[in-house]
């Protein structure tokens, strides 16, 4: 149940990011100065944390999506769905640790 809800939340989050990304990129055609100002607002610690959240959302959504495909198309998918969820969470955690370190180092360089 939680994986279902989290999959929907991460999907909506990714959609929102893509929507904002298209809008701010299109702004360069309207007003390069406004585009530069918008991009400057992205260089804050809060947005750095949001970038980390976006990476976490994309990674979980992708891994859980593969799990859902396996549940739907593998003849033993329903039987192994709980173990696959544990595997998704473990892989997510193993990949997120170096991501947090790398993004943290990048944020430290920018803001300290």
Task: Say if residue 54's pLDDT is above 80.
Answer: yes
**Considering the chain, what is the average pLDDT of its residues?**
93
Task: Say if residue 109's pLDDT is above 90.
Answer: no
Task: Among 1.20.1300.10, 1.10.1040.10, 1.20.1290.10, 1.10.10.10, name the CATH number for the domain at 1-111.
Answer: 1.20.1300.10
The pLDDT value recorded for residue 88 is 97
Tell me what the mean pLDDT of segment 40-54 comes to: 91
Task: Say if residue 99's pLDDT is above 80.
Answer: yes
CA pair distance 102, 51, nearest whole angstrom:
12
CA pair distance 100, 79, nearest whole angstrom:
33
Cβ neighbours of residue 64 closer than 8 Å, sequence gap 6 or more: 3, 6, 7, 10, 85, 88
Task: Say if residue 98's pLDDT is above 90.
Answer: yes
CA pair distance 28, 38, nearest whole angstrom:
10
61 assigned ligand-binding residue: yes
Tell me what the mean pLDDT of segment 86-107 comes to: 95
Tell me what the mean pLDDT of segment 76-93 comes to: 94
**Confidence class of residue 112 from pLDDT cuts 50, 70 and 90?**
confident
Dump pLDDT digits (tens) for 7-33.
999 999 999 999 999 998 999 899 999
User: How far is CA 110 from its chain centroid?
Assistant: 21
The pLDDT value recorded for residue 9 is 97
Q: Do residues 28 and 35 lie in contact, with contact meaning Cβ atoms separated by under 8 Å?
A: yes
């Amino acid at each position: 149940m939680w994986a279902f809800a989290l999959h929907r939340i991460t999907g909506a989050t990714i959609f929102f990011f893509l929507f904002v990304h298209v809008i701010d990129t299109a702004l360069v055609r309207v007003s390069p100065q406004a585009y530069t100002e918008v991009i400057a607002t992205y260089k804050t610690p809060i947005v750095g944390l949001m970038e980390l959240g976006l990476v976490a959302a994309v990674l979980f959504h992708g891994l859980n999506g593969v799990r859902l495909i396996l549940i739907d198309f593998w003849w033993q998918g329903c039987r192994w769905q709980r173990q696959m969820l544990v595997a998704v969470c473990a892989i997510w955690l193993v990949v997120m640790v170096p991501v947090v370190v790398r993004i943290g180092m990048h944020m430290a360089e920018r803001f300290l």
